[in-house]
Amino acid sequence: MVPLNWYLVLSAIVFMIGVFGFLTRRNIIIMFMSIEVMLNAVNISLVSLSHYMQDMRGQILVFFIITVAAAEAAIGLAIIIALFRNKSTVHVDEMSEMKG
Amino acid sequence: MYIDLMLNIGMILLKIAVVIGVALLHVAYATYWERKVIGHMQVRLGPIEVGPHGLLQPIADGVKLFFKEDIIPANADKPLFYIAPVIFFVSTMTALSVLPFFEGFVIADINIGLLFLFAMSSLGAYGIIISGWSSNSKYAFLGGLRSASQVISYEIAMGMSLVGVMIMAGSLNLSDIVKAQQQYPTGMFAVPQFLGFFIFTVSALAETNRLPFDLPEAESELVAGYFTEYSGFRFALFFLGEYTGMLVMSSISAICFLGGWTVPQFITGWFPFLLQLPAWFWVLVFLAKVYAFMFFYYWVRATLPRYRYDQLMSIGWKMLIPLALLNIVVTAMVKILL
Amino acid sequence: MLPELFFGYYAAMIVFLSVLVITRKNPVHSVMWMLLLFFHIAGLYLFLNAEFIAAIQVIVYAGAILVLFLFVVLLLNLREELQTAKFIRSWPAGLLISGGIIVAIISALRSFVLAPQGMHTIEFIKRETHTKALGTILYTEYLFPFEIASLVLLVAIIGAIVLAKKKTRS
Amino acid sequence: MTAAKLIRAIFFIEILKGLALTFKTMFTPAVTRRYPKVKRPVQPGFRGLHALAKDENGKMKCVGCGLCGAYCPSKCIYIYTSDGKDHKKVVDRYEIEVLRCIYCGFCVEACPFGAITLSEHYEYSDYSREPFYMTKDKLLSNWDKHFAGEKGKRYFRDFWRPKSEDFIGYEGQAMFKGIKNEK
């Protein structure tokens, strides 16, 4: 039996990689993918917790996270396309018009 | 204990080898059969020179394709160019692993068989998009984009058309779905689920990029679509993948709508000796259903012209998906009320 | 021994692939590594007896969301992307922040206590099948969130169409 | 939309009609000819591979006048003549580049003696360009192969009747008259 902590550590490491990617990359698509990586890290920990607690409510949460991720990806990518149409770049540094 | 494990693994490997070998042979002869059927429909003969009645033609074609030169465009993205046909081929071949061919013969009898099939059929889109993009050619790129949007759109309709079957069978396991159809007098879901069967048939044509929805490889506009730049061995992989996809779609339709390897109960009532036959005999019934569906593919190809792209999209989104939703609602209500 | 080996393989591959995803210069390659990453995560879910979630992971994440990503990447101009620097100049700060997060999480794990066991034992799931057990909870206890999720998806569809639609000249 | 139109749209009457048609044609016999095994008979007057005609004594009919080469639109006939014994014209070389020939048949029409002919043979593909450069010997052997005996006679009788056969000129014309008188 694999200890639960292993899963949680794995989830933490993957989450960290996602955070690092989000903070350091400036390509908006890669940033989006970093968010997906973070969501997946959370999903891993939820599924493993649900398995070890023998309670399926955690997996329901995973279900909703996947749903919301789908909605978020659709909206986010639509925003990216709209931005690219106006600015013809995918670099967040160059989208500075709303800085105030 | 280890001997048991080894035997088990050996058994599974043997099954896999049998299924892949038989499937590849069927795929090869599916191309032969297609050429024959379409040939006769167009008042031609089809392949006839190689071997008796041209029976060795698919083997000759295979040998030719596998020994041809493998050309790679200079500006292609090489790793993705190499991997794309493999993704396409593997994703369609993997779908074979959950199909039950007759009572008790299935490589992986999993509870989510139908979902697994959806997953694999959605992965085929990657092979197509990536091959279109990595070839660095306009025809291939346009073909890849078209194919991706088409496959994604019609997958929704296809999944929804099968929800009716899921509701009626109460299971996602393909063997259970086949057994559930035995309770109905006609022995197949195609009769009560006629709307679902219709939607599935149309979206199966679109999903495998066949006529009248073959816009991704529309010869008159896009040369060969997403595999324009491929040749030799890799082209053969695309070709095999496409026909394996057709085989898988026909098998899904045979399993989910036409009663799989079983025949309707009144037939076994008339001919009781059928029940004494060994289990493997019923694979012939299954294959007959699969080939009947494949024949429909060819028949449609020989008859209908290609749709326009906006027509394709509006059929998918404005006709098939609402119909599929209606089918789900009606099926669920009937299931609750009865 | 065998479960640990399986877990070790999956964990190593997941970490390695997620590093590849965020460090590739070409977004298309990133997407392809992400596809492999999703497969390994689905494998991990199967390993945790969550077969329906694994199937959903492949169908929705790999089959729909990632194809959308790929689609958008293909529509954009990649030439410029391949020439600019991969990371921002102050990437060590990012490393520091993410390192801080992981240290905090792992130190919190030491005082982690598992809640009492629920009713969905492995035998229960095997008897009921995973899909049925999940569906039972989803359509009874979580019916209201489920409806809200469908509403969220509807809003997302409309929003995406409105945002990405080309403005017609009137 | 009228009711009939609606019914047609719902049940795909047009598509079903088309499917019925293709299904019916599937059982009609194919019209394919399996070419290398089954050959269509060549129609008389077909313009195939070139041949140089011989007369009854087996001698070449060509006198080297060069009219065929002059008429040829693709200029693929080369004739080299020299002065022989008794100042008789001798045809040294008579060559045709078959790959450039367009099979118009002008050379046959131009020839006053029916020396150059187009045989009914059309299966002469090859792997190199060499065999398509016809020399005099090859052209004469083509005659033996494809026009020997009755076939050659029929050819001249029914189709490419040489001008010299019906030529009735005035007395002063040297060439044709002489030959006619010899017969």
Whether A78 is in a domain gets the answer yes
Task: Give the helix/strand (H/E) hosting C42.
Answer: helix C27-47
User: How far is residue B267 from each of residues B14, B262, B272, B286, measured CA to CA in Å?
Assistant: 34, 10, 8, 15
Whether D118 is in a domain gets the answer yes
Nearest C-alpha of chain C: how many angstroms from B120? 8
Task: Give the helix/strand (H/E) hosting C68.
Answer: helix C66-75
Q: Give residue D26's identity as a one-letter amino acid code.
A: M
Q: What is the CATH number of the domain that holds D151?
A: 3.30.70.3270
- Determine what percent of chain B is predicted with pLDDT higher than 90: 0
CA distance D164 to D162: 5
Whether A100 is in a domain gets the answer no
Residue B174, pLDDT score? 84
How many structural domains does chain A have?
1
Q: Which of A8, A33, A49 sits opposite C34 (nearest CB)?
A: A33
Residue D160, pLDDT score? 67
Q: Which of C52, C64, C74 sits opposite B145 (nearest CB)?
A: C74
Tens of pLDDT along B68-86?
888 888 887 888 888 888 8
Q: Which residue has the higher pLDDT, A5 or C41?
A: C41
Q: C48 and A48 in contact by Cβ < 8 A?
A: yes
Q: Domain ranges in chain B?
A: 74-337
Nearest C-alpha of chain B: how many angstroms from C120? 17
Determine which of B77, B117, B126, B167 to mutate to test the interface with C (most C C-beta atoms within 10 Å).
Answer: B126
Question: Cβ(D96)–Cβ(D134) under 8 Å?
Answer: yes
What average pLDDT does the segment A68-82 reach?
86
Task: Give the helix/strand (H/E) hosting D134.
Answer: strand D133-134
Q: Which residues of C22-31 are buried (b: 16+ CB within 10 A; e: fewer)?
A: bbbbebbbbb
Residues of A within 8 A of C82 (CB-CB) are none
Tens of pLDDT along B189-241?
777 888 888 889 888 888 888 878 887 777 777 777 788 888 888 888 888 88
Q: Give residue B26's identity as a one-letter amino acid code.
A: H
First to last CA, chain B: 49
Predicted confidence band of residue D183 (pLDDT cuts 50, 70, 90): very low
Q: Which domains does chain C have, with CATH numbers?
A: 1-79 (1.20.120.1200)
Question: Cβ(B262)–Cβ(B185) under 8 Å?
Answer: no
Determine which of B35, B37, B42, B199 to mutate to test the interface with D (most D C-beta atoms within 10 Å).
Answer: B42
* CA atoms lying within 13 Å on the CB side of residue C86: 12
Nearest-CA residue of chain D relative to B48?
D34
Whether D29 is in a domain gets the answer no
Q: Which of A4, A12, A33 sits opposite C69 (nearest CB)?
A: A33
Predicted confidence band of residue B280 (pLDDT cuts 50, 70, 90): confident
pLDDT at A98 over 70: no
What average pLDDT does the segment D25-41 reach?
84
What's the angle, vertex CA C8, arms to CA C6 and CA C13, rounded to 5? 100
Lowest-pLDDT range of A58-62, D121-125, D163-167: D163-167
Predicted confidence band of residue D181 (pLDDT cuts 50, 70, 90): very low
- Determine what percent of chain B is predicted with pLDDT higher than 70: 100
Residues of D within 8 A of B304 (CB-CB) are 15, 18
| Touching, B vs A (3+ Cβ pairs under 8 A) | no
H runs (alpha helix) in A25-95: 28-53, 57-87
Residue D108, pLDDT score? 83
Q: Which of C59, C62, C131 sits opposite B172 (nearest CB)?
A: C131
Q: What is the CATH number of the domain that holds A54?
A: 1.10.287.3510
Q: B111 and C63 in contact by Cβ < 8 A?
A: no
Residue D1, pLDDT score? 67
Q: Which domain holds residue D73?
A: 50-162
Q: In what order do the strands lie in the sheet with D89-97?
A: D77-83, D89-97, D133-134
Structure tokens, B19:
């299924």
Residue numbers of chain C with a pLDDT score lower than 70 = 77-82, 167-170
Residue D177, pLDDT score? 41
Tens of pLDDT along B18-51?
888 888 888 888 888 888 888 888 888 888 888 7
User: How far is residue B204 from each of residues B125, B281, B324, D168, measured CA to CA in Å?
Assistant: 14, 28, 14, 79
What average pLDDT does the segment A6-15 reach?
88
Q: Which of B83, B112, B152 sits opposite C55 (nearest CB)?
A: B112
Tens of pLDDT along C103-126?
888 888 888 877 788 777 777 777
Question: Cβ(A51)–Cβ(A61) under 8 Å?
Answer: no
Distance of CA D167 to the CA centre of its chain: 24
pLDDT at A16 over 80: yes
pLDDT at D167 over 60: no
List subunits contacting chain B, requiring 3 or more Cβ pairs under 8 Å.
C, D
What average pLDDT does the segment B301-308 reach?
85
Lowest-pLDDT range of A46-55, B54-63, B128-137, D4-13: D4-13
Q: Which domain holds residue A76?
A: 4-94
How many structural domains does chain D have?
1
Mean pLDDT of chain B: 84
pLDDT at D112 over 70: yes
Residues of B within 8 A of D32 (CB-CB) are 43-45
pLDDT at B333 over 70: yes
Whether A80 is in a domain gets the answer yes
ipTM of the complex: 0.76
- CB-based contact (8 Å) between B41 and chain D? yes
CA distance D28 to B305: 22
Tens of pLDDT along B146-198?
887 888 888 888 888 888 888 888 888 888 888 888 887 777 777 788 888 88
